[in-house]
Chain A
Amino acid sequence: MRLFFAIRVFFKVLFDAATAGRIESLLSGELPAPAAAPPAGPAEATKQRQTPTSSRSDALTLLATMQQEARFLDLVQEPLGEYSDSQVGAAARDVLRDCNAVLQRMFKIEPVVAQDEGTECETPKDFQPGRFRLTGSVVGDPPYRGQLTHKGWEATTCELPTWSGSDLVAQVLAPAEVEIA
């Protein structure tokens, strides 16, 4: 289930610069509880950088959308131990397909390098360090040549829904559903 882990990491990197910096240690360490991610008093902290009507973090709105359109939370919250791979796969296929649709719509995610992995790759002479991670024996000055082991991902846009609900329900990612007979 590394894929789900990768998705979680993706969100952390996207919304939390500090986490992005510690990504290496995160990968080898334990995941923090997702609910702990927003700092205390998210309403005050986020109000300044968002539209005045929104009282919750964009990260929560994104999670709510992933749940509504793709059942993302239902999938990652469920303990996997009791199910076979085929059961997990059957459910995950639909969830992943719909997650992808949401992510593509909001972020239009594209590879950083548009060539096949395993092929020879050359960095530009003056590249931003954040665009390439160089491994192996790195000597001399750029441009560097080497084999592309991961083509990278980048969001080419970032268009999130805006949320304008009451502060009282700002933390609700999916309402409880009650069917009235």
Chain B
Amino acid sequence: MTAQYALGIDLGTTNSALAYAPLHDDGPRVELLPIPQLVSADTVESRSTLPSFAYLAQSHESGAGSFDLPWAAQRDFAVGEIARRQAAEAPDRTISSAKSWLCHSLVDRHQPILPWDAPDEVPKISPVAATQRYLEHVIAAWEQAFPDAPVADQEVILTVPASFDVAARELTHEAALAAGMPESLVLLEEPSAAVYAWLVTTGERWRHLLNLGDTLVVCDVGGGTSDLTLVSLAEENGELHLQRLAVGNHLLIGGDNMDLALAHHVAGLFGEQGVDLDPWQSVSLWHSCRSAKEALFSPAGPDSHPISILGRGSRLIGGTKSVNVERQQAVNLLLDGFFPHCEITERPVRRRASGFQELGLPFESDTAITRHLAAFLGAHGGDDPIKPSFVLFNGGVFKAEVLRERLLDTLGQWFPDAPTRQLEGTHDLDHAVAHGAAYYGWAKRHGGVRIRGGTARSYYVGIETSGPAIPGAPRPLRALCVVPIGMEEGSQVDVPSGEIGLVLGEPAHFRFFSSPVRKQDQPGDVIQAWSEQEIGETDSLETTLPPVEGLEDNYVPVRFQSRITELGNFELWCVSTQSDHRWKLEFSVREDAEQ
């Protein structure tokens, strides 16, 4: 069956969305799918997004049918709005930020570890399984609305953060296939999707808004994560195209941090009145602060805004407490905390690594997005930092004009000669990624400007140097570059290197590294020494070589061959130098422990 629709799925850290475009239309007509979901027990409502939360039912809840959906009965878990609400009241049973766990290579993402730190009686699931459940829900919502167009037959585009490395992409891909998405699934980077969404809304006018050589920094601040990407307008054979130049590191910082910071400030104001807040009230305060942010941040807003915590029981008015929050104070708090003025030479403050590192999510120790931006522009510009001509804001946080202004203002101070401007055009900050992904699926058929860029990172296999062993000391490790930055989809490269000996019938295990900044490295280059900021370790790779009949020696010399498939999937092969045999390396953990 041929695909009728392009489906763009934004799998967000805090919210997921699905947009679709009929493939047979001559123009891109992108719509957002309302997603039916539980909003409280027994109650199903359609919302434009699916909160990426999962709630694991207590024993008296499961089996009661309270978590039934039009397409599923007798559930012992629930995803979406009901789970987001439960996050406040039953944090031990609620999974949030599963996506951030997917790219956290210090834990095994196939093990049932979520909710993190939950007591033993809670049945846990793995980050991959949680991701699968969100995707299954979105797919079921689609198939309920479009029963004649099963997802497996459609052109499906799933977005991932640009900063996801190949291991995190592989895990996302795996969860998507398990949820029922087609093999032809394409993973698209979120900031690219945001740019595509901008292209849809501006139509052909974009050619007047961008000039050849212009660079565009996409500043995507979501609920829990931030992503930076640099794109430029290039020309090849007379055709204009967008070139993705660089992506930043995965930053675990977002709008939720800002709501919390504001709530912390307001809790202090309550404290001054002698009101101590219990945990329930603190959560309620967080909600109030989120809602008040809009009023506080609108430039024409009142100078002070009351924030109340409603009484808990049915005596609402009598139990309500409120404080007045000075607008300027609140605005300064968030500006100074998250968007402080800084020099372009400044860098994020790093926490000193202690000997013992706690395994939880690696939240950023420096919350200043401006300093992360300075580091990003500095890392990718050569001698001088890159000067972006435009900035494209994405993420609900940037509905607040003061935050956009502050970022533009800071860029203006860095580049006083030609200040970076905000990209013209309307932009749906909340749903742009899903929209852009659906457009991309449509444009694959119909043509349209594409963003090229290839791999955002270079990849390295760890090779131990040969030489006499020193007791107690590990052999020095070298990094052999197997994928350069910018390797295009649908290409492969034979990595020149010395022969690497593998033993048949035994597992071969390789440490694996990546770098978002080492543009100079080419396949075959061997790096002797590096800093952790430059090259980071990710999941290791392994394969077991089955014995080969007719081969007397069980020792095989191999070289590496790396491939990026047409769909953007990464593959690394060990190719025998003496025969036609080749073996594919896989990321070490393959089995989901609970399945």
Give me the interface of A with B, judged by CB distance under 8 Å: 61, 64-65, 68, 71, 73-75, 77-78, 80, 82-83, 87-88, 90-91, 93-95, 97-98, 159-166
Contacts and interface: CB of A to CB of B under 8 A. Distances in A.
Contact of A161 (B45, B288, B315, B317): B45
| A-B pairs with lowest CB-CB distance, top 4 | A165-B42, A161-B45, A74-B316, A91-B320
Contacts of A61: 43
B249 interface: no
B315 A78 contact: yes
Given A161-B39, A163-B42, A78 B308 contact: no
B308 A65 contact: no
Contacts of A98: 291
Nearest to A97: B291
A71 B43 contact: no
Contacts of B291: 94, 97-98
B44 interface: yes
A93 B322 CA distance: 11
A164 B67 CA distance: 10
B39 A91 contact: no
Interface of B: 39-46, 65-66, 68, 288, 291, 306, 308, 310-311, 314-318, 320, 322
Contacts of A163: 42-44
Given A93-B306, A94-B310, A97-B291, A68 B40 contact: yes
Given A165-B41, A165-B66, A95 B310 contact: yes
26 contacts: A61-B43, A64-B40, A65-B43, A65-B45, A73-B314, A74-B310, A75-B316, A77-B314, A78-B316, A78-B317, A78-B318, A83-B317, A83-B318, A87-B317, A88-B317, A91-B310, A91-B317, A93-B306, A94-B291, A95-B310, A95-B316, A97-B291, A98-B291, A160-B45, A161-B44, A164-B42
B327 to A, nearest CB: 16
Dominant SS at the B interface?
A: loop
Contacts of A164: 42-44, 65, 68
A75 B42 contact: no
A118 to B, nearest CB: 23
A88 B42 CA distance: 32
Contacts of A65: 39-40, 43, 45
Contacts of B306: 90, 93
B75 to A, nearest CB: 12
Contacts of A87: 317-318, 320
B71 to A, nearest CB: 12
Contacts of A75: 316-317
Given A159-B46, A164-B68, A94 B314 contact: no
Nearest to B284: A94
Nearest to B319: A91
Contacts of B39: 65, 68, 161
Contacts of A77: 314
Contacts of B317: 75, 78, 80, 83, 87-88, 90-91
A181 to B, nearest CB: 13
Contacts of A162: 43-45
Contacts of A161: 39, 43-45
A90 B322 contact: yes
A64 B43 contact: yes
B314 A74 contact: yes
Contacts of B308: 90-91, 93-94
Contacts of B46: 159
